[in-house]
Amino acid sequence: MAKEIATTPYQDQRPGTSGLRKKVPVFQQRHYVENFVQSIFDSVEGFEGQTLVVGGDGRYYNREAIQKILKIAAANGFGRAVVGRGGILSTPAVSALIRSLEAFGGIVLSASHNPGGPEGDFGIKYNVANGGPAPEKVTEAIYARTKEITSFKIEEAPDVDIDRIGATQLGAMRVEIVDSVENYAALMQTLFDFDRIRDAFRSGFTIKFDAMSAVTGPYAHAILEGMLGAAPGSVLNGEPLPDFGGHHPDPNLVYAKHLYDLAMSDNAPDLCAASDGDGDRNLIIGRARFVTPSDSLAILAANAHLAPGYKNGIAGIARSMPTSGAADRVAAKLGIHMYETPTGWKFFGNLLDAGLVTICGEESAGTGSNHVREKDGLWAVLLWLDVLAARKQSVDAIVREHWATYGRNYYSRHDYEEVDSDGANALIKTLRDRLPSLKGKAFGALEVKDADDFAYHDPVDGSDSKNQGLRVMFADGARIVYRLSGTGTAGATLRVYIERYEADPAKQFVETQQALSDLIAFSHEIAEIERFTQRRTPSVIT
276 binds ligand VG1 (CB under 6 A): yes
Residues 238-277 that bind Co ion (CB under 5 A): 276
For ligand VG1, which is the closer residue by CB, 38 or 487? 487
Amino acid at 509: F
Tell me which DSSP letter residue 17 carries.
T
364 binds ligand VG1 (CB under 6 A): yes
| Residue 108 near residue 208 (C-beta atoms within 8 A) | no
User: How many residues contact ligand VG1, by CB under 6 A?
Assistant: 18
The three-class DSSP label of residue 120 is coil
Q: What are phi and psi of 274, to 5 degrees?
A: -155, 165
18 binds ligand VG1 (CB under 6 A): yes
Tell me which DSSP letter residue 293 carries.
H
Distance CA 16, CA 445 (A): 38
Using the contact rule CB under 6 A, the part of the chain among 238-246, 276-284, 473-481, 501-509 near ligand VG1 is 276-284
Q: Which does 346 bind (CB under 5 to 8 A by kind): ligand VG1, Co ion, none?
A: none
Nearest approach in angstroms of CB 391 to ligand VG1 is: 28
Residue 518 buriedness (CB in 10 A; 0-12 / 13-18 / 19+): middle
112 binds Co ion (CB under 5 A): yes
Nearest approach in angstroms of CB 321 to ligand VG1 is: 10
For Co ion, which is the closer residue by CB, 276 or 415? 276
Helix (H) or strand (E) holding 85, with range, is strand 80-88
Tell me, residue by residue from 281 to 300, as one string, x for binding to Co ion by CB under 5 A and - for no binding: x-------------------
Using the contact rule CB under 6 A, the part of the chain among 64-72, 155-163, 258-266, 273-281 near ligand VG1 is 273-281
Nearest approach in angstroms of CB 215 to ligand VG1 is: 11
Closest CA to 65 of 20, 129, 7, 1: 20
Distance CA 405, CA 378 (A): 27
Nearest approach in angstroms of CB 444 to ligand VG1 is: 28
Distance CA 42, CA 40 (A): 5
For Co ion, which is the closer residue by CB, 92 or 171? 92
Cα 507-508-513 angle, rounded to 5 deg: 100
Alpha helical stretches, state H, 170-256: 182-191, 194-202, 216-220
Q: Applying CB under 6 A, which of residues 60, 61, 126, 345 lies at the interface with ligand VG1?
A: 345
C-alpha distance from residue 523 to each of 199, 468, 502, 519 (Å): 48, 18, 19, 6
34 binds Co ion (CB under 5 A): no
Q: How many residues does the chain have?
A: 542
Nearest approach in angstroms of CB 281 to ligand VG1 is: 5
For ligand VG1, which is the closer residue by CB, 316 or 322? 322
Q: Which does 343 bind (CB under 5 to 8 A by kind): Co ion, ligand VG1, none?
A: ligand VG1
486 binds ligand VG1 (CB under 6 A): yes
Helix (H) or strand (E) holding 524, with range, is helix 517-527
Nearest approach in angstroms of CB 281 to Co ion is: 5
Query: Which entry of 18, 39, 112, 364 is annotated as an active-site residue?
Result: 112
Q: What are phi and psi of 415, to 5 degrees?
A: -105, 135
282 binds ligand VG1 (CB under 6 A): no
281 binds ligand VG1 (CB under 6 A): yes
| Residue 378 near residue 220 (C-beta atoms within 8 A) | yes
Torsion of CA 478, 482, 486, 488, to 10 degrees: 110
Residue 112 designated active-site: yes
For Co ion, which is the closer residue by CB, 95 or 409? 95
Using the contact rule CB under 6 A, the part of the chain among 29-37, 221-229, 267-275, 479-487 near ligand VG1 is 479-487
Alpha helical stretches, state H, 248-359: 257-264, 293-303, 326-334, 349-353
Distance CA 454, CA 461 (A): 18
Q: Applying CB under 5 A, which of residues 42, 278, 295, 415 lies at the interface with Co ion?
A: 278
495 binds ligand VG1 (CB under 6 A): yes
Residues 96-125 that bind ligand VG1 (CB under 6 A): 112-113
Q: Applying CB under 6 A, which of residues 42, 280, 458, 499 lies at the interface with ligand VG1?
A: 280
Tell me, residue by residue from 144 to 183, as one string, x for binding to ligand VG1 by CB under 6 A and - for no binding: ----------------------------------------
Cα 519-524-528 angle, rounded to 5 deg: 145
Summary count for the chain: helices (H), strands (E): 18, 27
415 binds ligand VG1 (CB under 6 A): no
Closest CA to 155 of 52, 5, 42: 5
R_g of the chain computed on alpha carbons: 23
Instruction: Give the binding site for Co ion (CB under 5 A).
Output: 112, 276, 278, 280-281
Given the rule CB under 6 A, which residues bind ligand VG1? 17-18, 112-113, 276, 280-281, 320, 343-345, 362, 364, 366, 485-487, 495
| Active site members | 112
